[in-house]
Structure 1
Amino acid sequence: MIKNYFKIALRNLRRHKAYALINVLGLALGITCAILIFTLVKYHLSFDTFHSKADRIYRVTTELHQEEITYDHSVPQPLGKAIRDDHTFAEKVGRVCSFDDRLIAIPSSNDNLIFQEEIAYVEPEFFDIFDFPLLQGDKNTALAEPNTAIITEKLAKKYFGNQDPVDQTIRIDNKWDYRITGILRDLPVNTDRRQEIYVSYSNLKDQWEWLASDESWSALSGSMHCFVLLKPNVEAAHVDKIFPELSEKYYNERDAKIFRFKLQHISDIHFNPDLGGYVAKKNLWVLSLIGFFLIITACANFINLATAQALGRSKEIGVRKVLGGHRKQLFWQFMAETALITILALILAFTLAQLALPSVNQLFHTQLQINLFQDVYLLAFLPVLLLVVVLLSGAYPSLILAGFKPVVALRGKITQKNVGGFSLRKGLVVAQFAISQLLIIGAIVIANQLRYSSQADLGFQKDAIVMFPVPERDKSKISTLNSEVSGLAGVEKVAFCSDAPASQGWASVTVQFDSRTENENFDISVKAGDDRYVPMFGLQVIAGRNLSPSDTVREFLLNETAIAKFGVHSPEDVLGKKMRIGLNNSEGVVVGVVKDFHNKSFHETIDPICITSSNGWYRNFAVKINPASLQPTLTAIEKSWKEVFPDRVFEYHFLDEQIARFYELDNMILRLVQVFAGIAIIIGCLGLYGLISFMAAQKTKEIGVRKVLGANTFSVVWLFGREFTSLLLVAFVIAAPLAWWVMNRWLENFIYKIDIGADVFMMSIAITFMIALIAVGYKSIKAALANPVGSLRSE
């Protein structure tokens, strides 16, 4: 019986090729999105779930209770030792401190190979907490001695080829040699720990003596993490209640109220943006919801076309019933047709998903794979998806078709009312285009906000400025680089600095202003730069003067937000006041005030900022280049740079590109919404095209009569157009307020944002009408231009 169902179904699909093709394409697009979204969501939900003790692994985080409560995923370096020494709730405590872009050299190589890698100073207990197994070496002793290192098997192959890497030497930053004592299995893609070189924690003092000190309780560096493995049956809430005791023991009374610590479960690390997480879980659920909407849109398209085609199959159904066919048999016959179409769509969708996967990986910086027979979750998801689509798409049309009365069907008296009426298809078209317009409005709003973020006045200049990381703080080398690059043709300005006015990495420290005896109840962001920093970035001095040339901290510039935080009403009133900041208790005099500039993305408020000079803090060499000679100037700078730093990797980045990375996630969302809006529109337009084809066939004689009676082409085209114009307007009325609410919620993520004006909605409805017109125009005009003599003879 089942074989017969599918044989007849295949025969019908061959007879109605256009109907089958439209449905297969529509469903395939929706299912493709569902497969990709499922794969992406599953990938993110799998992060760090492979650790055998994951239920007991926590990261210690910091809450700073100052003027506002702020959150930091890092902790003071001595905290890990204090937890280990003072309390017994942790089975293991592992501290890890990571640094980007460290220079790695291989002393034994004759090729003078150099690499840039991320490294981590780590305690041996780290490998008891996490399941990162060693292929060679003993995890308990590999990093127990100073100047020892563990590297991944990938790096071992990269550095030493087929040689045994154990007991080989790597040199970090051309200063420190480390003996390799273990080889780590290559890291899985679904972990947030991406360092591939781990070195002995006892050597942290070589990299950053101040941070490594057991007295640095006030130091918070984003590179310092502390993980704990709780003992069985120890609750995180209980530990959180113990942490205030640590604060009271190691801080003075005031700071003990500021520094609070909490546990963060490993499962939350990837999904908590407030603590450095990659993506919020709510974004994954929104993504899943969009995928569900696209499936609904594709199914609605199928129902629309199936019920529209029902009139043409009424006599077939009548004959089947007269010959003894039961309603149940007819129902399953039509469900078999739906299943066949869905299976074809699933095969096409799987192919499309494989083709789209490289683009998805590039967009999200992921390493997704679709392996049907190796992924048990995907293997379970696809049959469920197939079943859901078949039921959503086929159940209603099958019930309608199987319910035709044979006498009425054989007489050709089946009308729109018998197949659910045109009102059903109207409702489905409205639902489809409401979803499409919701996505279109979303794409327009996101694009406008990102355009505003990139074009708004940031309070400083960013065009044609190139940032060159300075690998060494050697004063003579910096002076040589400065003199050589300053004299190059095409170089307009130069300055040494810690970072640009807006950057993703910044230092916030305690501050003590004027004659006040205590630190302020807020931290201040420090920008280190020489006397050319202000003119380089076009910062506007509104009171006082610029910094004088100096190698050490002597003078400060403040921004307007800082003086407001100090409670000073006039910029002139802060001039000449003394100020002390937390970096080594550096003291100086305020000599000027600069106009506020955006030091972070538009997601965040402007911080209180001070600018000061200190050679030891300069990490970047900023160069403003004449755009007309950009490439030759960069080549000349590279030559000069390599003369000063011959054993270092030359690299640079444009400041405007660095600032654009603030909105990397927002740009991902924009591209996703644009793609989904396009797919929803395509699916909807396939349905519109199918319905117009059906209407044209049904109204053949009516059109002929109208033309004989003098109707022109436009009036005949309008016969089709007015039906869908009203539907698109109804869809807009439904989508517009919902889109306004959703996008206003999204804009709440920005402190500085656009207003959603009427132009957004007008653009959305115009785009929808234009696309719908293209979809229905050809068939409508063809029907309107048909010879009425032929249509009137068709009876």
Structure 2
Amino acid sequence: MFTNYIKVAWRNLLRSKWAGAINIFGLAIGITAALLLFVVIQFEYSYDKFQSHYHEVYRIVTQDEYPDGFDYNPGVPNPVPDAIAADNLPFEKIVPVKSAYNTQINLYPEDNKAAIPDKFEIDHVFYTTPDYVELFDTDFVSGNAADLAEPNKVFLTKETAEKLFGDWKGVENKNIEFSSGLKLTVAGVLEDMPMNSNMRCEILVSYQTVRSNPEIFDFDFDSWGSLGSDNQLYVKIAENTREETAQNALDAFTAKNFKNRGTSEKQLLLQAFKDIHFDSIYGPLSGGMIRVSTINTLIVIGLFILIMASINFVNLSTSKAIGKGKEIGVRKVMGSSKMQIIYQSFGETFLSVLIAATVGVLAATMLLPFLSLIADVPEKMNFFQPVILGFLGLLILILTLLSGFYPALVISRFKPIHALKSRFQKNRIGGVSVRKALVVIQFAIAQILMISTVIAIRQMNMVQEADLGFSQESIYFVEVPFDSPTEHRIDAFKQKLLTNSNVVSISLGSDVPASDNNSLFNFYFDGVNEDVPFPAFAKFGDENYFDTYGIEFLAGGPYQASDTIKEVVINETMAKRLLVENPEDAIGKQFRLGIMDEWATVTGVIKDFTVNSLRDEIRQLVIAPKKDFYHVVGIKLNEATSLKTIAQIEEEYNQIYPEQIYHGNFLDESIQQFYESEQKLALVFKIFACISILISCIGLYGLVSFMISQKVKEIGIRKVLGASVAQITMMLTKDYFFMVFLSFFIAVPIAYFMMEKWLESFAFKIPISVSLFVLVMISSLVITGMTVGSKAIRSALANPVDSLSDE
């Protein structure tokens, strides 16, 4: 019986090729979009779920509460891991993980240590203890975790070993050297770690290495005031101990060790490992991070597109019912039951969905390599995974039921006498009001995505065009290694670059004006030896820092040339928070960072500029000279700069730092990387807004086709009685413009709520204006006019003789 239903469905599909093609095309678009979005969502939710202790591991993070707000750090102060172990807190495992990013490895020829080495860059290096493998699944190809208890021992992943030595086999006991001078012995090889992990690293080094090389790491294990995001701590709560109990013990530990330390109220908090990937406050150790709101947005978009595609199918299928009237009438006269008619209708729906799914899978497979353009997923992914295939099967089932129920219900209600004579009332072909309501829903969804797209584009345009308070134009910066006390290569590099006619000015500093780097210090002000009750964000740069980056002074000027902190410059936010009402009044005041022994003089107050990204509020900032911290060379280039100039800069670098890998970038390109995830989400909105408009137009065209087919004789009579083409066109289209207006008022509050939540992640954001909504409404009316008007005008121009003679 089922085979018969499919055969008949196939014949009906071939009989009405145009309508069937439109149905399948609309469904295929929806299925393709849903599959691609599901791949992204499934990948993001799969992060670290392969870990055996996924639900049992916690990270200890640090929260500092100041009188005017909070500061969050995923790391812990240096002594915390040892102190927790000594206090016997209720943790079964205590695993410190110190991370390093973009670490350079040098391999020298065995017989010539003075030669220029082969240079390699490693994304993530973890320093940890043997207990690391007790918390995080680590597969050893050779060696064992016991070597992580020995100093200067290192494990390489297969991929890293092949990168360094050409083959991962036989690399045990070979030596590698970090550019810092740290020499390590390879103790073994690890399997490559999955991409969907926030504990992904290429190299594991024993934690004891940090303890044994204090001159290289400059890491004080007794400094309770030292806190960095690269020094993290992971724990497993003792068996039969509740999370609340462990947190209470951690609170007692915090009160004991941090009371009267610094100006903040510090709290150590347990963060579930399963929450790290979705946490935008603390962020992951490595791997990717995605906001839950972004995941929810992708889910909503996917549902929207599927609902729209299903609505299209319903509208077009009920429209086709007119042509199937005689077939249904004959079937009923010949004894077919109502359920058999329903089964037949579902058979046609299933066949259409199955064909659309096949087309969708093919399209999704071809588009999969481009998925990384809109999401942080690997460029190569296996589409045919059990979970994805399971989703596809469920999708086919749901779409068949969702799209087939209403058409089957409508067709099964046909009366044989009316069906055989093709005399249908509107309510017998499925209420027109129902189909119009479905189109209203379609256009509401389309307008939600259109509004979201316009807001996202405007916000990203604002970000790109915003005045950050410093110059981005023609600024090129190069990262250099820190000079040792006996070396001054950075000065030699600067002097070499100044001989280039395309170089306008150069500044040496710890950082460019806007980056993800933050250095916080306690500080003292106006000669009072008492901590100010909030931290100072600090950047260090030479006397040319302000001129090179185009930073504007409100009062005073830059400090004199110095290798140490004798004078400082503060920003206007710092001045206001120090209750200095007039910037001029801050000039000459005494200022001392916690790392300083002597007081320094404030020489100037600068206009606020964006220190991090536009997601963050302006920070209270101090800039001071301190040569020990300089490792960024900022180069202002003139307008005649070409790629040749950049090549010359790299050549000079390689001559002075032959053992180092070159890192150079334009400042504006570096700043744009802050907003990569938002740019990708904006692109998602653009793509799916276009898809929604396309699907809406298909649905609208199907509905107007049905409506006009019901009014053929009416149109003919009106033309005979003298109605103009314009009058007939208006009669046929006015209802649809009303539907667009109605859908607009449904879409506005939903879109406003969605995008207001999205904009909350930005400290600086565009206002959502009325003009934006008006623009979308006008666009919707134009799209509707083009879609409906083309069909209506063609019908209004038809010969009334043909219309009236058709029985």
Q: TM-score, with normalisation over the residues of structure 2?
A: 0.94
In structure 2, what is the equivalent of residue 680 of structure 1?
692
Q: How does 1:429-448 map to 2 (within 5 A)?
A: 429-448=439-458
Q: Which residue of 1 aligns with 2:4?
A: 4
Structure 1 residue identity aligned to 2:164:
Y
Does the alignment pair 1:751 with 2:763? yes
| 1:473-488 equivalences in 2 (<5 Å) | 473-474=483-484, 475-488=487-500
Partner residue, 1:193: 199
Does 1:18 pair with 2:18? Answer: yes
| Equivalent residue number for residue 430 of structure 2 | 420
Deviation at 1:782, TM superposition (A): 3.1
Contact kept in structure 1, 2:180 and 2:216, CA below 8 Å: no
Give the distance between the partners of 2:598 and 2:364, measured in 1 at CA: 57
1:777 Cα deviation after fit: 4.2
Task: Report if the CA contact (8 A) 1:210-1:216 is conserved.
Answer: no
Structure 1: which amino acid aligns with 2:376? H
What displacement does 1:792 show? 4.0
Corresponding residue of 2:188:
182
Is 1:211–1:219's contact at 8 Å kept on the other side of the alignment? Answer: no
**Greater mean deviation of Cα atoms: 71-80 or 709-718:** 709-718
Give the counterpart of 1:765 among 754, 777, 783. Answer: 777
| CA-CA distance at 1:611 after TM superposition | 0.2
Q: Give, in whole Å, the separation in 2 of the partners of 1:384 and 1:18.
A: 27
> Mean alpha-carbon deviation: is it higher for 577-586 or for 348-357?
577-586
Aligned residue number for residue 457 of structure 1: 467
Q: Could you tell me whether the CA contact under 8 Å between 1:248 and 1:256 is conserved in 2?
A: no
1:55-70 matches, cutoff 5 A: 55-67=55-67, 68-70=69-71
Tell me which residue corresponds to 2:102: 101
Distance 1:515 1:94 in 2: 42
CA distance in 1, matches of 2:358, 2:179: 53
Q: Is the 8 A contact 2:181 2:216 kept in 1?
A: no
2:126 to 113, 120, 135: 120
Asked if 1:722 corresponds to 2:734, the answer is yes
Mapped partners of 1:761, 1:208: distance in 2: 61
**Matches for 1:24-423 after TM superposition, within 5 Å:** 24-67=24-67, 68-108=69-109, 112-118=117-123, 119-141=125-147, 143-162=148-167, 163-173=169-179, 175-204=181-210, 206=213, 212-255=219-262, 258-277=265-284, 278-367=289-378, 371=382, 375-423=385-433
Q: Which amino acid counterpart does residue 64 of structure 2 have in structure 1?
A: L
Aligned-CA RMSD value: 2.1
In 2, Cα distance between equivalents of 1:370 and 1:134:
25
Per mean C-alpha deviation after superposition, the further-off stretch among 155-164 and 329-338 is 155-164
Shift of 1:101: 1.8
Q: Residues 301 and 687 of structure 1 are in contact (CA less than 8 Å); yes or no, is this contact kept in structure 2? A: yes
Q: Which residue of 2 aligns with 1:618?
A: 630
Structure 2: which amino acid aligns with 1:218?
Answer: G
CA contact (8 A) 1:497 1:529 kept: yes
Aligned partner of residue 470 in structure 2, secondary structure: coil
Q: CA deviation at 1:92?
A: 1.8
Shift of 1:532: 0.4
Native 8 Å contact 1:22 1:687 kept in 2: no
Summarize deviations over 1:49-68 as a string: whole Å, max 9, x none.
21212222111100102121
- The match for 1:573 among 582, 585, 596 is 585
Question: For 2:508, what is the secondary structure of its paired residue?
Answer: strand
> What secondary structure does 2:573 align onto?
helix
Same amino acid, percent of matched pairs: 34
Listed one character per residue, the Cα deviations across residues 411-443 of structure 1 (whole Å, up to 9, x for unaligned) are: 322121112321111101110000000110011
Give the Cα separation in 2 of the matches to 1:212 and 1:640. Answer: 33
Structure 1 residue 756: Cα displacement: 1.2
User: Is the 1:107–1:169 contact (alpha carbons within 8 Å) kept by the matching residues of 2?
Assistant: no
**Could you give the per-residue CA deviations for residues 120-174 of structure 1, whole angstroms, max 9, x where no partner exists?**
2222222222111211101122x22222111100111111123511111111106
- Listed as ranges, the matches of 1:574-653 within 5 Å are 574-583=586-595, 587-653=599-665
Change (3 A) 1:585 1:746: farther
* 8 Å contact from structure 2 (residues 374, 684) kept in 1: no
Distance 1:178 1:579, change over 3 A: same
Return the letter of the residue paired with 2:165: F
The separation in 1 between residues aligned to 2:452 and 2:632, in whole angstroms, is 38
Tell me if structure 2 keeps the 8 A contact 1:311–1:415. no
CA distance in 2, matches of 1:371, 1:740: 37
Structure 1: distance between partners of 2:741 and 2:685: 22
Instruction: Tell me how far apart the structure 1 counterparts of residues 381 and 556 of structure 2 sit (CA, whole Å).
Output: 62
Which sits farther off after the overlay, 166-175 or 577-586?
Answer: 577-586
Q: How does 1:695-714 map to 2 (within 5 A)?
A: 695-714=707-726
Q: Is the 8 A contact 1:704 1:791 kept in 2?
A: yes
Which segment is superposed worse, 39-48 or 207-216? Answer: 207-216
Output one character per residue of 1:733-764: Cα deviation in whole Å (capped at 9) or x when no partner: 21123222322232222222211112211221
Contact 1:147 1:179 (8 Å CA) reproduced:
yes
Q: Conserved in 1, the CA contact under 8 Å of 2:313 and 2:403?
A: yes
CA distance 1:514–1:598, change in 2 (3 Å): same
- Listed one character per residue, the Cα deviations across residues 586-607 of structure 1 (whole Å, up to 9, x for unaligned) are 7422221111112122221101
Alpha-carbon offset, residue 88 of structure 1: 4.1
User: 1:720 deviation in Å?
Assistant: 3.1
Q: Does 1:661 align with 2:673?
A: yes
Partner of 1:756, secondary structure, is coil
**Residue 778 of structure 1, CA deviation:** 3.7
Provide closer, same or farther for how the CA distance between residues 352 and 584 of structure 1 changes in structure 2, counting only shifts above 3 A: farther
One-letter code of the match for 1:221?
G
Q: Distance in 2 between matches of 1:5 and 1:495?
A: 78
Aligned-partner SS, 1:459: coil
State the shift of 1:40 in Å: 1.6
Q: Deviation at 1:266? A: 0.6
Alpha-carbon distance in structure 1 between the residues aligned to 2:102 and 2:214: 13
Rounded Cα–Cα distance in structure 1 between residues aligned with 2:369 and 2:622: 44
Q: Distance in 1 between matches of 2:320 and 2:680?
A: 40
Deviation at 1:708, TM superposition (A): 4.2
* Cα distance change of structure 1 residues 695 and 225 upon mapping to structure 2, 3 Å threshold: same
2:642 alignment partner, SS class: helix
- Tell me the amino acid that sits aligned with residue 286 of structure 1: T
Task: Structure 2: state its 5+ residue gaps.
Answer: none
| Deviation (angstroms), 1:115 | 1.0
Distance 1:192 1:407 in 2: 68
Q: Any idea what SS the aligned residue of 1:55 has? A: coil
Q: Is contact 1:77–1:211 with CA below 8 Å preserved after alignment?
A: no
* Partner SS state of residue 695, structure 2: helix
Q: TM-score, normalised by structure 1?
A: 0.96
For residues 108 and 205 of structure 2, the distance between their equivalents in structure 1, rounded to whole angstroms, comes to 17
